[in-house]
């Protein structure tokens, strides 16, 4: 043959796989002494951008004089994240209509549409996370290059997890991501709760990593391969009559990755870590760790173990049900907003598991859409909370948002949209996300799971709406209209309230619960009851104590992130471009 394949004979003799059209090596040269590995270099660009960005931040921190550089570290991190987003979009365009081999670097990394999709997600999360961290770290006296290096390293690990084509690469990405998050969780050195959160995360995360790697070892023992392609090829060509080792390995891998996505019953770390870790880092972690974990689960279950679908789908069914039920119910009794959002994230993980349980390409696309839109909702929510809680995270309970509609109407409106999105209200991306994951399982006849998802959304709506109602309760002394001016009295105890400056009686004095001569007093009392439903006496007092009197100051970068997250939440819920983009994701192979 003339042309590019004329030099192929000696390469074929070396055990190389040759593309008959281009003459290029497309696989590992397997003969003894051959060290050539085919590399598709564009697949490495996101890793180089993120890793290079971390090195640049470290370099400048070493050579520049030791003084504060406001915005520099966040700017460099956001620049690296923007480059990652741009490269992910470029990868997507290059992959359209191409015949590029889906695996590269000796079958270690995928180079496909799904990988490019998650590259964009992690790059966007890096930009948003850096932007909301800058003002927070300056306020807390923690500004420096270290958290941004950790953030870039975490995103690098997340990309590795999403692109991994084998268990070794997946474990490498998992550890890079995990170690970075352990340090970020404990970064607030002025708060003991932050150090405690980092320690708990480290101990439980290390256990989960050990379980995962043991499961991968069992799969290797059963199939003789650590690469997804090798595992699926072995299982397609061989019938295992004794498959206990393989099934044990599969279960342990699911447990290890289930910890990362905070699925019940592997969720115990989540509320404590969310409560103690620095607030902007929690928003970033909630988005990136969850997306990376689900990307890994999709790859492992759909590409390495598709022949075991009938075995792993019931396991995912149970995890999804438990996550939705426990996450939604336990969130109802939380007065700390960060703990409430932790249980909310557990519930959200349950909905993503519904899409995974479908075990179809439609389910994969639904999962991708859900985690992408959830990234913007959760980061925007934590950005607002980080602004309201005050220095030292003095207030994380419901009182932090009390009267926000009076103190900062635009911030209350933004929070309302993001909460409604997470609740799954129509015209938001959260509604569309829940719709597509439930539609995926209904297409497989899983009507019970679809019903559980819909009922769970109804229960979860209550604790989101509770926060919304608290935002529209008037702060103490605001003199708002009687119908909404329910405030905690400074003299009447937790059960007394004032409406328009007049006592309602409340629990403390056995009064009638309404303001004499004030129509709407009953409405204020009803709001009081709704807001405090399910809370004990102490939590009721915390939820309804007056908010801080200080002015709400929103850093410009944080404000831009909040606006972007709100706009995206609405845009992705009322239009189809993002959903169509997710639906274009295809699997490299199927069995």
CA distance 347 to 133: 26
CA distance 258 to 267: 8
Give the tens place of pLDDT for each residue, 42-78. 889 999 999 999 999 999 999 998 888 888 999 999 9
> Would the pLDDT of 135 be above 60?
yes
CA distance 235 to 164: 20
**Which of these, 220, 69, 237, lies nearest to 591 by C-alpha position?**
237
Q: What is the pLDDT of residue 419?
A: 95
**Which of these, 579, 561, 568, 590, lies nearest to 117 by C-alpha position?**
579
Q: What is the pLDDT of residue 550?
A: 67
> Would the pLDDT of 22 be above 70?
no
Question: How confident is the prediction for the chain on average, in pLDDT?
Answer: 84
* All residues at 6 or more sequence positions from 75 whose CB lies less than 8 Å from its CB, including other chains: 130
> Would the pLDDT of 7 be above 50?
no
pLDDT mean over 426-441: 94
Asked which of 312-316, 344-348, 395-399, 428-432 is least confident by mean pLDDT, the reply is 395-399
Q: How many percent of the chain have pLDDT more than 70?
A: 79
Q: Whole-prediction pTM value?
A: 0.85
pLDDT mean over 353-381: 95
Task: Decide: residue 329, CB within 10 A, 0-12 exposed, 13-18 middle, 19+ buried.
Answer: middle
pLDDT mean over 515-536: 52
Q: What is the pLDDT of residue 41?
A: 82
For the chain, the structural domain boundaries read 1-38, 42-471+560-583, 487-543
Give the tens place of pLDDT for each residue, 169-213. 999 999 999 999 999 999 998 889 999 999 999 999 999 999 999
Q: What is the pLDDT of residue 482?
A: 36
Give the tens place of pLDDT for each residue, 456-484. 999 999 889 888 888 887 665 443 333 33
Find out whether 470 and 402 touch, Cβ atoms under 8 Å: yes
Strands of the sheet with 487-488, listed across from one edge: 487-488, 497-499, 502-503
């Amino acid at each position: 043959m003339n042309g590019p394949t004329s030099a192929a004979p000696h390469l074929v003799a070396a055990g190389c796989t040759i593309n008959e059209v281009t003459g290029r090596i497309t696989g590992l040269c397997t003969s003894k002494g051959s060290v050539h590995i085919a590399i598709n270099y564009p697949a490495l660009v996101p890793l180089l951008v993120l890793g290079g960005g971390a090195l640049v931040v470290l370099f400048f921190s070493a050579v520049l004089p030791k003084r504060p550089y406001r915005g520099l570290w966040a700017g460099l991190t956001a620049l690296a994240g923007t480059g990652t987003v741009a490269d992910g979009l470029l990868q997507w365009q290059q992959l359209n209509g191409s015949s590029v081999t889906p695996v590269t670097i000796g079958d270690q990394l995928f180079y496909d549409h799904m990988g490019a999709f998650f590259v964009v997600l992690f790059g966007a999360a890096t930009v948003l996370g850096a932007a909301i961290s800058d003002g927070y770290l300056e306020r807390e006296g923690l500004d420096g290059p270290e958290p941004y290096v950790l953030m870039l390293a975490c995103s690098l690990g997340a990309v590795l997890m999403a692109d991994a084509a084998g268990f070794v690469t997946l474990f490498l990405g998992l550890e890079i991501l995990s170690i970075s998050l352990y340090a970020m969780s404990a970064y607030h050195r002025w708060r003991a709760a932050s150090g405690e959160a980092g320690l708990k995360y480290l101990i439980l995360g290390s256990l989960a990593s050990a379980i995962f790697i043991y499961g991968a070892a069992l799969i290797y023992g059963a199939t003789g391969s650590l690469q997804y392609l090798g595992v699926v090829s072995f299982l397609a060509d061989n019938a295992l009559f004794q498959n206990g080792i393989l099934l044990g390995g599969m279960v342990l891998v699911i447990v290890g990755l289930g910890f990362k996505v905070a699925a019940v019953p592997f969720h115990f770390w989540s509320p404590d870590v969310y409560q103690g870790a620095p607030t902007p880092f929690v928003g970033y972690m909630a988005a990136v760790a969850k997306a990376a974990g689900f990307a890994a689960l999709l790859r492992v279950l759909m590409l390495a173990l598709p022949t075991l679908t009938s075995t792993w789908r019931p396991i995912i069914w149970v995890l999804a049900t438990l996550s939705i039920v426990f996450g939604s119910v336990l969130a109802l009794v939380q007065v700390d907003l960060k703990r409430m959002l932790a249980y909310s994230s557990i519930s959200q993980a349950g909905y993503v598991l519904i899409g995974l349980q479908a075990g179809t390409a439609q389910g994969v696309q639904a999962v991708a859409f859900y985690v992408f839109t959830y990234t913007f909702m959760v980061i925007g929510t934590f950005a607002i909370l980080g602004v309201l809680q005050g220095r030292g995270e003095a207030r994380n309970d419901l009182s932090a948002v009390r009267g926000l509609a009076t103190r900062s109407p635009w911030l209350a409106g933004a929070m309302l949209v993001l909460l409604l999105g997470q609740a799954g209200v129509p015209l938001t991306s959260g509604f569309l996300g829940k719709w597509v994951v439930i539609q995926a399982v209904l297409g497989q006849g899983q009507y019970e799971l679809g019903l559980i998802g819909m009922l769970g959304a109804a229960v979860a709506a209550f604790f989101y709406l509770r926060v919304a109602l608290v935002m529209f309760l008037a702060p103490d002394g605001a003199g708002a209209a009687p119908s909404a001016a329910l405030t905690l009295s400074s003299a009447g105890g937790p059960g007394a309230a004032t409406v328009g400056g007049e006592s309602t009686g409340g629990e403390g004095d056995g009064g009638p619960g309404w303001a004499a001569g004030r129509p709407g007093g009953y409405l204020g009392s009803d709001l009081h009851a709704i807001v405090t439903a399910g809370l004990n006496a102490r939590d009721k007092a915390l939820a309804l104590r007056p908010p801080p009197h200080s002015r709400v100051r929103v850093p410009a970068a944080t404000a831009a992130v909040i606006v972007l997250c709100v706009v995206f939440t609405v845009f992705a819920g009322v239009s189809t471009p993002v959903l169509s983009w997710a639906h274009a994701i295809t699997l490299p192979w199927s069995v």
